[in-house]
Each structure stands twice: as structure tokens, then as C-alpha cells.
Amino acid sequence: MNLHPELGFFDEGLNLVEPKLYAAASRPFGRAQILPPAAYRSKIFADLEDEKIWTRTWVCVGAQQQIPNTGDLFPFTLGHHGIHVERLADGGLVARYNKAQHGGCRAVPLQCQTGIKTKCSFTSCGYSRDRDVIHAAEVGEGSRLAGQYLGDRPERLLPANVETWGPLIFVNLDPDCEPLAKQVKGLVKRVAPYFNADMKVMSEFRSEIDCNWKLAGRAYLEDITLPFVTYDEAKPTTQITKTARPDRPLHSKYMYDLADDYKARYSSLPKIAGLSKQWQGRAQLCWLFPNLLLALMPNHVLSIVLQPTATAMTLQRVALFIPQSANVRATTADLADLNNHWREALVGCAAEAVSRQQEFDNWGLPVRPDTAAKRLPKESSAFGYDFQKFLVERILTEHEYYWSAPLYSQPRR
């Protein structure tokens, strides 16, 4: 978060919090223009997103099953801030800022201030890529990791809000945030049968792609090609769903009809209980803003957590869930097949996102700030439009500051 947000956010000759800059992007779909290219390539815009989105929105960080035991820690760099989620003895969760922020450095080293999150050997912080889950045995009393993440008095660390939805963990750094239920309201009913089932993580992998995180989310819905669905260009099954006010969409969704051989192809995977007959024959792809992508299938769920690692680089944390009742030995071949298909599908849509990133990188700077939007094309994607409405609303929201300090240094303000 910007240390002095009252100084503003300026880059490429633009005032990035000027409402006029986004007026063309806020027009009705069909007439709205794309966001200014700075939104996809500017380090200052990334700082603005940290101020307005990553620190003020419920952000998915991973799955509950990844930290099953008391004392397990889940490190996550949320925007520019290093946090962790810990499993408590009663089964609950607590989220805190790390004891050693910025890798324990007194001042952030110059090599860490490049806009690209580095692989810090000391600890996960706001300028580093995260290490894997830290098991309880690794953070025992006197251990190096305990000192870096928890310190001697973990209860004194600055807390963050943490909630769960189904098998997933969400964190919000704003002390005054609203409950997670409001953010997911429009999806709860549709996702309930999948999340109410007893799901377990069967595989995980990470992939990093050379594009802005916003382009990665759009490409997932718009450009993914799945081998187990039918494509009928004459009868698209796109459905944009909005919640609360129509100008504040919190998610987008795409529905596909499954191919006739899907049931036979994955016969060893049990169906998710509670699905209506209609949804047993459909695949649903969802983008819950800002960073959670879901694929809801009759017998499995894929989750993708987007995490910016640079202005034009995004880490995808992918997890595949299946019902607990599945016979693991019988499903081994089907799981391997599913993993291969999803990997290939994600590689395909990532290529489209990278291509779009290159277009934005090559886009010339505006001659004058007041002409910045005049040369921009219209936003042709319903998914892109849905998200940019969400983004613009958050970017232009004004917040009260009690002194010139970042949000994370204002505990319980």
C-alpha cells in the first residue's frame, strides 16, 4: 500500500484516480472502451490496486485442507503484504501479518523494489514469492521459521480477517470490512451443492504466466478450450450474473453443456450429491472477483487462485477437488487424465492472455492526458466488461485516512 496515498497515483502522464479517465470504460456494454493500458503495465497502478482491492476485498488464498493440523501455517503475499494463516487447536483459523515483514529487513532492499516479487530466502513478505505450507513441526519454539513468522508472542501480531467458504480460505486486510457472505452472495445458491459436499484436494500445481492478473482471469472464461464439453457457436451459453446493484458485479460465469461421453469417460468419479439433473450435464466456469477462478463439474471442482507476482506476471495456484467418497485407487487413471486436460486447457488460455499483454505493452503513451481514452477500442468481452466495472468502482472508491500511514499500520482504526 502506498505510504502516502494522499500524494496520489500518477504514471504515464495520467492521474490514475481521476474519474474522467474511466468514464469511457464505464459506459454501457457495447459502447464502453477498454481500460487504459496503464492498468496492465504500470507499477503505480499495481500500487493503486494494493490500496483499493487487495487490502479491501475478500481474497482467496487457498484450501483448508492445505493446513489440516494444529500449528500449520499458510504463507501468502496479499498485494504488497506478507501474511500467514494458522490452524488453531480448536480447528479454527487465525490470519496475521508476518512477524518479520519485508524479509526481516530494516528497509526494503533496492533489489526487492523492482515491481517483481523476488524469491526471498528469508521469509514470505510483501516483496517475495511465497514458500510452500509450513508444517507445525517446522515452527516449534526457538525455530528460525517461528521467529520469522510468529515471533515470541504471536497474539501480539497485527491480525487480519479470515473466513472460509466451502473448502476455501479467504482473507481481508481491512479491519472495517463487511462479511464474506456479502461478496459471495450471488454465487452461494449455485455453488452450494459443490461446496456442501465433503471435498478433498487430490492434486495441486502452480504455474506462472507472463501477463497481468486481470488478463489471466478474463482469458480463463473467454479463451479456455475443454475437451469434455460441446461447443455450439449458434447457441452460446454465456450468462453474466450480477449481484446486489447491477453496476457492481462481483462475479462472471460461463456455462457449457458436457459432451455425451463425459459420464462414461470419468465413471470412477462419484457424482457430487445434491446436483439437479440439469447441472449434472453441465460445466460451470466462474470468476469470483478479484482472484478466484472455479470450474464446477458434476464430479470434481477445480480452483485457481490468481496472485500477481509482477505487473505483467501472474502465479496460478491450481487445486483439483473430488468427493471424499471416491475410491482413490479406482480414480487414479481418471485423475491423471483430468489433470492433463486441465493443464493443457490452462496453457491454451494463458497463451491468449500473454498475447493481450504484449499488445498493451506495445501500446504507445498518450500525447496528452486528456486524449488518453480517445484511441482506445471498445470492450468486446462481456467478461472483460463485467470485471472492469468492478475494478473501476473499487479504484474510484474514496477511503478515510486518519493519518498518513498505510492501512496495515492502522490496526482497528
Could you say which DSSP state residue 378 is in?
A: B
Segment among 15-24, 227-236, 316-325 with least mean pLDDT:
227-236
Selected residue with higher pLDDT from 238 and 41 = 41
pLDDT of residue 114: 79
pLDDT of residue 402: 55
pLDDT of residue 412: 40
pLDDT of residue 189: 84
Confidence of residue 146 (pLDDT cuts 50, 70, 90): confident
pLDDT of residue 271: 87
pLDDT tens for each residue of 39-66: 999 999 999 999 999 999 999 999 999 9
pLDDT of residue 41: 95
Is pLDDT above 70 for 137? yes
pLDDT of residue 331: 77
Domains in the chain (CATH in brackets) are 59-183 (2.102.10), 188-362 (3.90.380.10)
> Helix (H, G, I), strand (E, B), or coil: what is residue 51?
helix
Is pLDDT above 60 for 396? yes
pLDDT tens for each residue of 246-297: 344 578 888 889 998 888 888 888 888 888 888 888 999 999 999 999 999 9
What mean pLDDT do residues 153-161 have?
91
- Give CB contacts under 8 A, 24+ apart, made by 375-382: 376/24, 376/33, 376/34, 376/36, 377/33, 377/34, 378/30, 378/31, 378/32, 378/33, 378/34, 379/25, 379/29, 379/32, 379/33, 379/34, 381/218, 381/222, 382/29, 382/238, 382/240, 382/252
398 Cβ partners below 8 Å, 6+ apart? Answer: none
Selected residue with higher pLDDT from 8 and 89 = 89
Confidence of residue 238 (pLDDT cuts 50, 70, 90): very low
Q: How far apart are CA 166 and CA 194, in angstroms?
A: 8
pLDDT tens for each residue of 347-392: 999 999 999 999 999 987 765 555 555 678 999 988 899 999 999 9
Q: How far apart are CA 231 and CA 97, in angstroms?
A: 46
pLDDT of residue 93: 98
The angle formed by the CA atoms of residues 135, 141 and 143, to the nearest 5 degrees, is: 65
